[in-house]
Structure 1
Amino acid sequence: MADSKKYTSKLSGKRILVIGGSSGIGYCVAEASVESGASVIISSSNETKIKASIDNLLKTYPSAKDRVSGYPCDLSSPSLEFTIEKLLSQCGGKLDHIVFTAGGKPAIQKIEDATLEGIQKAAMVRFNAPLLLAKQARKHMNAGPAASITLTTGAVSERPYKDWSVIAGYASGLHGMTRNLALDLAPIRVNLISPGAVLTPLWDGVSKEYVDHFTKMIKEKVPTGEIGRPEDVAESYLYVMRDWNCTGSVISTNGGLLLT
């Protein structure tokens, strides 16, 4: 009798769109999904990065040639909703899961330096895009609890940091957005992943001095003594895709940061 794969095959044959999938956590979600037998569509604002990511995936999983594709999508565009609708249409056919890990350079600044323009700009990718994605997604997805949308926030939504007020406002707002979307889009499931500190390319635009200070502070605080790795955090996204009973939930993966 052949070995059963009741659990490890739950994503096999599924169609998964990973927005922000060309690097960091998103890339690892895409990688893990391909390894699980899914067909994966990667999207980010940079077409060159998408191609490089697809090439890297196919080096690791050459047999997945027909299961990996990608399309650019600039979530900072003034015509944001049109851009999202175009991406979803390009995917062709119905999607089973959408994972949103896109983000921009962290808008870390003193509150006295905040401007209306800067606050609104910080919302585009982190808050406006997930909401408009949810608006457009239903008609491009299979119906039922087997389908899901997974959004991404951060530990700052659960524990404040000095000079992070702009980001924290949107990060915390995603908690409420997720719970309401789980009702509005039902039976499609909607969940939220809340990573702690994870070193990804999003930090490339932040000064080395700040990153070094922040990294040292986190390592001294968390019980694990380590900064999160994208490949470990990616497991939380796979979990909520696989668990048909999980919706409106926030999954924290932060090395125990909230305990200290």
Structure 2
Amino acid sequence: MSDQAKYTNKLHGKRILVIGGSSGIGYAVAEGSLEHGAHITIASSNPDRVAQAVKKLQDAYPSAKDRIVGHACNLNDEATLEDNIIHLLSQLPKDTKLDHVNWTAGEYVPPTPLAEASVSKIRSAMTTRYIAPIILAKHLPPYLTASPDSSITLTTGIVTEKPIPGWSVIAGGRSAVIGLGKALALDMKPVRVNVVCVGAVETPSLDRLQGEAREKMFKALVDKSTTGRVAKPEMVAEAYLYCMRDGNVTGNVVVSSSGVLLT
């Protein structure tokens, strides 16, 4: 007689879309979902990175090779954004619906001093992280199982809870994601909608700094934490797995921040 698997099988056989899944947190969410037996579709703006991520996942999980698919979808151009999302959804399997969607996509936008703020810079800070998820939600219902066992999880940053000088242009868009998540939890019910709020995570976006500058930045991040380290993507991915697996959590913000709010 085998043991029951009431908890570890919650994602087994589920179909999960990870937008922003070619690297960083999204890639880790895809890994964790595969280990729980899910079918994964990853989407990202760069076709080469999508193909590389699919191969990397298939190499890491050879028994799950048939459960991994990737598609390119440009989320940064407002002029084509809606058409691109419609096309992405049209490529999903026709015989079954999604169970979960995780939005981890977000283009790197450097902090802009308030004196240099412009409408275009403000919009560029909001397109991928705030505007695009709204457009996805608009077109998603026919492709997503309408059940409290289904979920959408958005992503924002700890600047929403702990303001950073010089981040006013960026902070508004990040805070808007929290309002969006709560509103979508009502508009898309019974599907659950939550937001994961992350602190510093060692993702490719941090690779823009090298050498001494990188060391100084990491030291500053470590000094602000209570864990004494910068989080790895696989640590933060647990928050997304939780939001998918807890059928009772909706309209909430789950924080994974290395304890920076305590300092």
1:21 is matched with which residue?
21
For 1:236 and 1:5, locate their aligned partners in 2 and report how far apart those are by CA, in whole Å. Answer: 20
- Secondary structure of the equivalent of 2:126? helix
1:45 is matched with which residue?
45
Listed as ranges, the matches of 1:142-181 within 5 Å are 142-181=145-184
For 2:211 and 2:74, locate their aligned partners in 1 and report how far apart those are by CA, in whole Å. Answer: 27
Which segments of 5 or more consecutive residues in structure 2 lack a partner in the other structure?
none
The code of the aligned residue for 1:42 comes to I
- Please report how far the alpha carbon of residue 210 of structure 1 lies from its aligned counterpart in structure 2 after TM superposition: 5.6
1:245 is matched with which residue?
248
1:116 is matched with which residue?
119
- Secondary structure of the equivalent of 2:91? helix
Which digits, 9 at most, give the CA deviation of each residue in 1:143-169, with x for residues without a partner? Answer: 110100000001011111111111110
Percent sequence identity over matched residues?
Answer: 48
Contact kept? 2:45, 2:72, Cα under 8 Å: yes
2:90 is matched with which residue?
89
Which segments of 5 or more consecutive residues in structure 1 lack a partner in the other structure?
none
For 1:122 and 1:204, locate their aligned partners in 2 and report how far apart those are by CA, in whole Å. Answer: 20
- Secondary structure of the equivalent of 1:153? strand
- Please report how far the alpha carbon of residue 214 of structure 1 lies from its aligned counterpart in structure 2 after TM superposition: 3.2
For 2:129 and 2:72, locate their aligned partners in 1 and report how far apart those are by CA, in whole Å. Answer: 17
2:55 is matched with which residue?
55
The code of the aligned residue for 1:189 comes to R
Q: Give the TM-score normalised by the residue count of structure 2.
A: 0.95
For 1:30 and 1:165, locate their aligned partners in 2 and report how far apart those are by CA, in whole Å. Answer: 32
Which digits, 9 at most, give the CA deviation of each residue in 1:22-67, with x for residues without a partner? Answer: 0000000001101110000010011111111111111111011110
2:186 is matched with which residue?
183
The code of the aligned residue for 1:116 comes to V
Contact kept? 2:76, 2:107, Cα under 8 Å: no
For 1:108 and 1:33, locate their aligned partners in 2 and report how far apart those are by CA, in whole Å. Answer: 33
- Secondary structure of the equivalent of 1:21? coil
1:7 is matched with which residue?
7
Q: In the comparison of the two structures, how many residue pairs are matched? A: 260
Aligned residues: CA RMSD? 1.3
Listed as ranges, the matches of 1:75-86 within 5 Å are 75-77=75-77, 78-86=79-87
- Please report how far the alpha carbon of residue 138 of structure 1 lies from its aligned counterpart in structure 2 after TM superposition: 1.3
For 2:210 and 2:173, locate their aligned partners in 1 and report how far apart those are by CA, in whole Å. Answer: 23
